[in-house]
């Protein structure tokens, strides 16, 4: 979802530059709720004020709701079906590939110098090899940014 939003908002519409989009994602990640919904709300507000925030939020939630409700019903009804289990096994790697794609698309505008690679590497090591809470990781990244970029 974020990769699609970035493409439409930054590349097609030109409503903001990549660094602004990344900043909005950082704030949306820290606020409670789904990141795509929070990002849409912040972008809607940035582009068109409170009305834009409300419309952008509805625009993200409504199509998903229309797709997820029937899909959830079908999944619940056929969850024990071998075909449904095979479909779900195929969906898992596809979802991971979409997450990795979004990381690459957004990362190209964030990874600007050696310091940013060091912060990324330290965060990745903490995520992979420790049980560091994501909020602590965000706070550590912000602190590292302050110390390294001041």
- Per residue in 71-118, pLDDT (tens digit) is 899 888 988 999 988 998 999 999 999 888 888 887 888 888 999 999
Cα separations in angstroms, 8 against 16, 118, 120, 147: 10, 30, 26, 34
Contact between 36 and 60 (Cβ < 8 Å): yes
Looking at the structure, do residues 20 and 44 belong to the same domain, yes or no?
Answer: yes
- Domains: count for the chain: 2
What would the pLDDT profile of 112-135 be if each residue is shown by its tens digit? 899 999 999 999 999 999 989 988
**pTM of the complete model:** 0.63
Looking at the structure, do residues 40 and 103 belong to the same domain, yes or no?
Answer: yes
38, 32, 54: which is closest to 5 by C-alpha? 38
**Structural domain range at position 32:** 2-110
Looking at the structure, do residues 91 and 145 belong to the same domain, yes or no?
Answer: no
Looking at the structure, do residues 121 and 47 belong to the same domain, yes or no?
Answer: no
């Amino acid at each position: 979802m974020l990769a699609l939003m970035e493409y439409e908002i930054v590349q097609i519409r030109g409503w903001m530059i990549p660094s602004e989009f990344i900043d909005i994602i950082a704030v949306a990640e820290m606020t409670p709720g789904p990141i795509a919904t929070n990002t849409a709300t912040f972008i809607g507000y940035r582009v068109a004020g409170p009305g834009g925030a409300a419309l952008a939020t509805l625009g993200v939630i409504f199509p998903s709701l229309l797709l997820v409700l029937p899909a959830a019903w079908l999944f619940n009804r056929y969850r024990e079906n071998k075909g449904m289990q095979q479909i779900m096994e195929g969906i898992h790697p596809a979802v991971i590939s979409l997450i990795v794609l979004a990381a690459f698309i957004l990362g190209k505008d964030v990874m600007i110098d050696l310091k940013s690679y060091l912060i990324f590497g330290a965060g990745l090591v903490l995520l992979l090899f420790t049980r560091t809470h994501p909020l602590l990781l965000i706070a550590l990244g912000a602190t590292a940014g302050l110390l390294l970029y001041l």
